[in-house]
Amino acid sequence: MKRTWPIATVGDAARARIAAARIAAAHGVPVVDRTRLASTLSAHLRQCLTKGGSWRLTLTATAAPAGQGVLHAVVTPMDPAESAAHAAWQTSVRCPEVTAAVDGGGPADAPSVLAESLLGADEDTALVLDKLAEQEELVAFLREELHQTNQGVLALHAELDAAGRAQREAFAAERSAHQEAESARRRLTFLANASAVLTSSLNHDEIVRRLPELLVPEYARSVDVWLFDGDDDRRPPAPHPAAAVVAARTGRPQYAARTPGGLPGVDDQPPSALDPERPLLCLPLPTRRAPLGVLTLAPPTDRWNADDAVMLIELARRASIAIDNARRFEHNRDIAETLQRALLTDLPSAPGLRLAARYLPATHGLNIGGDWYDAFRQPDGGLIAVVGDVTGHGLHAAVMMSQLRTALRAYAVDGASPGTLLTRLHTFLHHLQPDLYATAVIARFHPDDPVLTWAAAGHPPPVLRTPDGRVHTLDARPGAMLGIPLTQEIPDHTAPLPPGSTLALYTDGLVERRAQGIDPGIARLATALGGFHPADLEQNLEDSADLILDPLLSDSERDDDVCLLLCHVPESLS
């Protein structure tokens, strides 16, 4: 919302002030802020009228989530030549409710409007006075509390004067206890923050890299992480202190120095032959099966105190758990990615049709899901292209996706149309997994027929670019989701498919954003597809698929799988 009022007279200023107050009230501005806005605006408009000339008041309301909108007021000279001499005056107030259209204008000099504005201003003033009275009562209460406290302090001072020496000793003991408590709090805070940092990553190399960053320089001068197996095997083996070898063999922390450390839970060892002058604390990285490695630290000063050593031992235990979990996740992720790629078939070559597909797994959790694409020929020479999405994520969704894909290929042997195939898949899924659902879109191409036949079940609509560069969203009535407890016959739809046409089939992960919905994403896909030069799609469909994905995924959190299948009918068969 944006409103502007010209101001040249006192009457203009009064009308603008009335309109501003009404708009602020309509947008839910709190009464104190509204009163402050009205008073400061009135004062500035009075100054403007004193200077003379014509002025302009502009009110702008800006929406924001969670009621954090802003009502912005700006007063500027009407004459651009005076803008350099008189800087713009502006102020802003919180605006919880932003209304698309607010009647802030109207005949502000009408008796009813003036009376309503006067009464509204009086009500605002009364509310502000009420708040002021509450504050005065609070101040009076606090003043009495302070007086009573002062009386107690005077009595306490009398007692302190009578027992000065004993009190000073008590203060010294309290300061010592406070310092110990502060040190304990600092260690616990560091341990909690470090644990959060270590567990925030599921990449064990990243965890190992972060360990020195966390410990140096406050708790260690240098940090060495020795992992028994892993990528470190690719580097030449480095010598390790004898205490680290003992820690690896026994699973107990070791302290190597010329003098015993006396650290709780730590065994003392002779100084390291690699650097006899530097004390070393060697902490095993334990797991339930066997230690992963050893963390070797050099002290930031001469040595560690007992509390720091206990905290470092606990940090090593948590780091070991984080590294072990990351390695397990990486192993499972590699298995999942291998399985996912195995489930996605190579695209066939077909006369009069070129295909390009892209599949991107979600970046959160295991990279395996229920999105899939497929393309295969039918006995009559036609080609079936399909993109589908099984609800859920993970191994179960991938297994169901594989079963649906296999069932679809079996059903398509008799040359059935896309709608018939989806109807059969619907029945198959409902009986196989009553609590699991899927969406899919199937397109059928035939080299002897310049017509596209397609059908969809609960899936985002295909996007078709014709040779003239225009893009059409094929949003004819789709069927319901596959597998829902409903008997349905999913219909076929047709569209002309002249040479030079390009069809895009995709899953909702490409176009849907939680904050915007799916329609803006489909519009962006249509714009991207329509922006290609015909020669780009004709000569390199693979690069065109990448050029579509890059801008559409630039603002995506990638919390869902993304699947895209481009089907291009070339201008010629050459």
State the residue for tokens 């990449």.
203
In a domain, 331, yes or no: yes
Cis (ω within 30 of 0) for the bond into 217? yes
- Asked whether residue 511 falls in the same domain as residue 378, the answer is yes
With CA atoms as reference, report the closest residue to 403 among 388, 423, 384, 418. 388
pLDDT of res. 122: 65
Domain count, the chain: 3
Has residue 233 got a pLDDT over 60? no
- Asked whether residue 325 falls in the same domain as residue 398, the answer is no
With CA atoms as reference, report the closest residue to 464 among 492, 498, 500, 504. 504
Q: Which pair of structure tokens corresponds to residue 324?
A: 């072990």
- Asked whether residue 307 falls in the same domain as residue 358, the answer is no
3-state secondary structure of 325: helix
- Asked whether residue 532 falls in the same domain as residue 432, the answer is yes
Lowest mean pLDDT among 126-130, 177-181, 360-364: 360-364
SS3 of 147-183: HHHHHHHHHHHHHHHHCHHHHHHHHHHHHHHHHHHHH
Has residue 101 got a pLDDT over 60? no
- Asked whether residue 18 falls in the same domain as residue 102, the answer is yes
Give the model confidence (pLDDT) of 381-411 as tens digits: 899 999 999 887 666 777 788 888 899 999 9
More confident residue, 163 or 5: 5
Has residue 359 got a pLDDT over 50? yes
Lowest mean pLDDT among 135-144, 256-265, 272-281, 339-348: 339-348
Buried b (16+ CB within 10 A) or exposed e, 143-176: eeeeeeeeeeeeeeeeeeeeeeeeeeeeeeeeee
Contacts 24+ apart (CB under 8 A), 181-185: 183/307, 184/307
pLDDT of res. 119: 66
Has residue 215 got a pLDDT over 50? yes
320 close to 204: Cβ distance less than 8 angstroms: no
Which residue type, as a one-letter code, is found at position 499?
P
Q: Calculate mean pLDDT across residues 327-343.
A: 74
Lowest mean pLDDT among 79-83, 233-237, 297-301, 519-523: 233-237
Q: Calculate mean pLDDT across residues 217-228.
A: 90
520 close to 556: Cβ distance less than 8 angstroms: no
Lowest mean pLDDT among 85-89, 244-248, 277-281: 85-89
With CA atoms as reference, report the closest residue to 21 among 68, 77, 71, 55. 71
- Asked whether residue 377 falls in the same domain as residue 471, the answer is yes
Lowest mean pLDDT among 151-165, 241-255, 305-319, 448-462: 151-165
Has residue 573 got a pLDDT over 70? no
Phi and psi for 263 in degrees, rounded to 5? Answer: -90, 140
Has residue 524 got a pLDDT over 90? yes
**Local confidence band at 160 (pLDDT 50, 70, 90 cut-offs):** confident
Query: Helix and strand tally (H, E) in the chain?
Result: 13, 19
Lowest mean pLDDT among 61-75, 273-287, 306-320, 358-372: 358-372
Name the pTM for this structure.
Answer: 0.52
Q: Calculate mean pLDDT across residues 454-468.
A: 95
pLDDT of res. 377: 93
pLDDT of res. 167: 67
More confident residue, 571 or 231: 571
**Local confidence band at 333 (pLDDT 50, 70, 90 cut-offs):** confident
Q: Which domain holds residue 63?
A: 2-130
- Asked whether residue 278 falls in the same domain as residue 354, the answer is no
Q: What is the CATH number of the domain that holds 348?
A: 3.60.40.10
In a domain, 148, yes or no: no
pLDDT of res. 350: 83
Lowest mean pLDDT among 11-25, 113-127, 346-360: 113-127
In a domain, 115, yes or no: yes
With CA atoms as reference, report the closest residue to 252 among 308, 317, 198. 317
- Asked whether residue 397 falls in the same domain as residue 422, the answer is yes
In a domain, 78, yes or no: yes
- Asked whether residue 302 falls in the same domain as residue 408, the answer is no
**Local confidence band at 232 (pLDDT 50, 70, 90 cut-offs):** very low
In a domain, 511, yes or no: yes
- Asked whether residue 15 falls in the same domain as residue 91, the answer is yes
Radius of gyration, alpha carbons of the chain? 37
Which domain-ending residue is among 317, 335, 353?
335
pLDDT of res. 343: 66
93 close to 62: Cβ distance less than 8 angstroms: no
Give the model confidence (pLDDT) of 44-62 as tens digits: 888 888 888 888 889 888 8
- Asked whether residue 120 falls in the same domain as residue 97, the answer is yes
With CA atoms as reference, report the closest residue to 510 among 459, 561, 568. 561
Q: Which pair of structure tokens corresponds to residue 118?
A: 């006067």
21/43 Cα distance (integer angstroms):
14
512/510 Cα distance (integer angstroms):
6
Report the 10 Å Cβ neighbour count for 38.
22
Cα torsion 393, 397, 398, 399: sign: positive
Lowest mean pLDDT among 172-176, 310-314, 467-471, 479-483: 172-176
**Local confidence band at 158 (pLDDT 50, 70, 90 cut-offs):** confident
Lowest mean pLDDT among 170-174, 215-219, 521-525, 538-542: 170-174
In a domain, 296, yes or no: yes
Q: Calculate mean pLDDT across residues 333-343.
A: 70
- Asked whether residue 326 falls in the same domain as residue 354, the answer is no
C-alpha distances (whole Å) from 404 to each of 147, 431, 482, 507 are 80, 12, 10, 16
pLDDT of res. 262: 87
pLDDT of res. 23: 86
Torsion of CA 346, 478, 568, 498, to 10 degrees: 150
Q: Calculate mean pLDDT across residues 12-27.
A: 84
Which domain-ending residue is among 300, 335, 370?
335
pLDDT of res. 237: 65
Instruction: Supply the mean pLDDT for the chain.
Output: 85
In a domain, 158, yes or no: no
Which domain-ending residue is among 130, 147, 168?
130
pLDDT of res. 375: 94
pLDDT of res. 236: 55
In a domain, 152, yes or no: no
Q: Of all residues in the chain, what percent are helix, strand and coil, respectively (each to 5)?
A: 45, 20, 30
**Local confidence band at 105 (pLDDT 50, 70, 90 cut-offs):** very low
With CA atoms as reference, report the closest residue to 482 among 445, 519, 417, 437. 437
101/3 Cα distance (integer angstroms):
10
Report the 10 Å Cβ neighbour count for 87.
9
For the sheet with 2-7, list strands across it: 2-7, 55-62, 69-77, 89-95
